[in-house]
Chains A and B, each alone.
Chain A
Amino acid sequence: MSKKKNEEVMKDLKKKLKNKIIDIVQPREKRIYIRVEPEKAPGVVEYLFSKYKCKFCTATGIDMREGIEIIYHLAKEDKNMIINVKTLVPYSNLEIDSIGKKILAFRWIEREINEMLGVKFRGHPDMRRLLLADSFPKGKYPLRKSFKHSDVTDEDYDYERSGI
């Protein structure tokens, strides 16, 4: 691993996304982390995907103390770079604009974050459950840190909804 970092992409992004981002760091040679406000995150990600020709890898939702942090992972393949766009959606207002309404690739992961962590994606065309059972109780989010296995008992399951 060479210690000299390739900062070309970093400089380029700094210039192009100047007004939209809070900070941008490159801790390792092939990784860039950008922090943005939740209102601006979808715009930045759409720009990176459509104009900056990045590949969509996935998105991760993390339960932090102040809210849910969403990280969009994008890969700039011709520069061997993974660009991570981080945004913190506060618990007081768990909503963010959907990217999936325009870009098809983001639809499934937004559905997953919605059911696992309870973030609402404004404007998503199809917000059905993706992975959890239809009978799983509403308002319980398994990937939150506050979730315990004992939180959901057999009585909580709504079997009528799943047709059993």
Chain B
Amino acid sequence: MKQTIIPLGPYHPLLEEPEHFKLYVEGERVVDLDVEIGYNHRGIEKLSESKTWDQVPYLVERICGICSTSHPMAYCLAVEDLVGCDIPKRAQLIRVVVCELERIHSHLLWVGLAGHFIGYNTVWMWAWKYRETILEICEKLTGNRNHYAMFKPGGVRRDFNKEQIEYGLERIVEMEKPIRLLTDAILDDPVIHKRLKGIGVLTKKDAVLYSALGPTSRGSGVPWDVRYDEPLDGFKDLKWKVIVQKDGDVFSKGVVRLLECFESISLIKQALVSLPEGEAIDADIKEVPVGEGCGRYEAPRGEVFHYVRSDGSNMPYRHKVRAPTFNNLPTFKASCKGETIADVALITASIDPCYCCTERVAVVDKDNNERILREKDLLRLSVDKTNNIMKKLGKTPPLYNMEI
């Protein structure tokens, strides 16, 4: 059969950053896929070599708007590994609270967008409504809705006062019920089951081979979670479990994300209750000796890895940053084969929770005829598929207008 190349991108299919996918298609089926990245390369590693140890957290915080605590966290852990100092328990628990709040809002963001993309705008509105409460807690506890600037090598910058802790506890307990409602509504829906199950399957073997991370690996039955594998001292006393699903499809990845929200809520509650009174929040690192250190932390999308090397000066000699998507993107080569174009857009979104800006697909065949599919058309393809499933199940598709 004639092979056609479909460019998906470069600015951008469903992921957060500009990426360009070349889909090799036979008819409607994708037979191969090529990913090009680098449209948004900002040279942060080079820039980091010209910042002092204390300035770097501000820089790495801006790598990603959603994972804005995980990068500073991994960097601080790397520097602390290099220095070899112990962090006060209160500081560690404050870090846990901020990181878990980030995880909930990131997962809810993804759930909302995935819902929107398959034509469930109610899921989208609900999830984002609840996400708003989480952002309010973030604002009350850290002073910002995003880019919290809470972490520094050796501890945290700001302490929680009594009023903040009470507010945080009250609001987070409040959140459990609505998120439970949302989760049950999604997991009980036969249409969502039919639409998302068996799509974009990443087998356990492939997940290990590509070293997939975060919900992508845990959705495929590989129980890798840095919080469990390399726990902080503050994490050891808290009770929680790693969520693992076996099937490896888009549905499993969604279930992992939804169920992780409850673990995060439970972790925040435990951490806020057990904050030790009157302890310092900073180990006060005076200087960074010659040496090297690795730090890693579980971001909402997977393990963030930072490596720093010091030559004894006030700046890193080398600072390597590896975001989880770097390992997760190549897995599409395994999970997209044999799927339809309507699903590929969803599968590419299944590892990573953001899509914004324009999406466009240009269909090019050998005679150089070009057809541009814009965001609207891509959305239409996906929603049509959901509506067809609904009709087959004897349900009436929703009447709302999809021309957004």
Contacts and interface: CB of A to CB of B under 8 A. Distances in A.
Nearest to B34: A126
Contacts of A33: 292
B211 interface: yes
A140 interface: no
A84 B45 contact: no
Interface string A51-89: 000011110101100000001010101001010100000
The 7 closest A-B pairs by CB, nearest first: A58-B322, A56-B211, A60-B320, A131-B38, A131-B41, A105-B211, A62-B318
A164 interface: no
Contacts, number: 77
B167 interface: no
A28 to B, nearest CB: 6
Contacts of B293: 31
Interface of A: 1, 27-28, 30-31, 33, 55-58, 60, 62-63, 71, 73, 75, 77, 80, 82, 84, 103-105, 107-109, 129-133, 142-143
A105 B45 CA distance: 21
Interface of B: 37-38, 41, 43, 45-46, 81, 84, 86, 208-211, 224, 229-230, 233, 291-294, 296, 303, 305, 307, 309, 317-318, 320, 322, 326-327, 329-330, 333
B294 A108 contact: no
Given A28-B84, A62-B309, A56 B294 contact: no
Nearest to B86: A1
A108 B307 contact: no
A80 B235 CA distance: 14
A105 B296 contact: no
B53 to A, nearest CB: 17
Given A31-B81, A57-B303, A71-B307, A77 B224 contact: yes
Contact of A143 (B38, B45, B209): B45
A73 B305 contact: yes
Contacts of B307: 58, 60, 71, 73
A42 B190 CA distance: 49
A82 B230 CA distance: 10
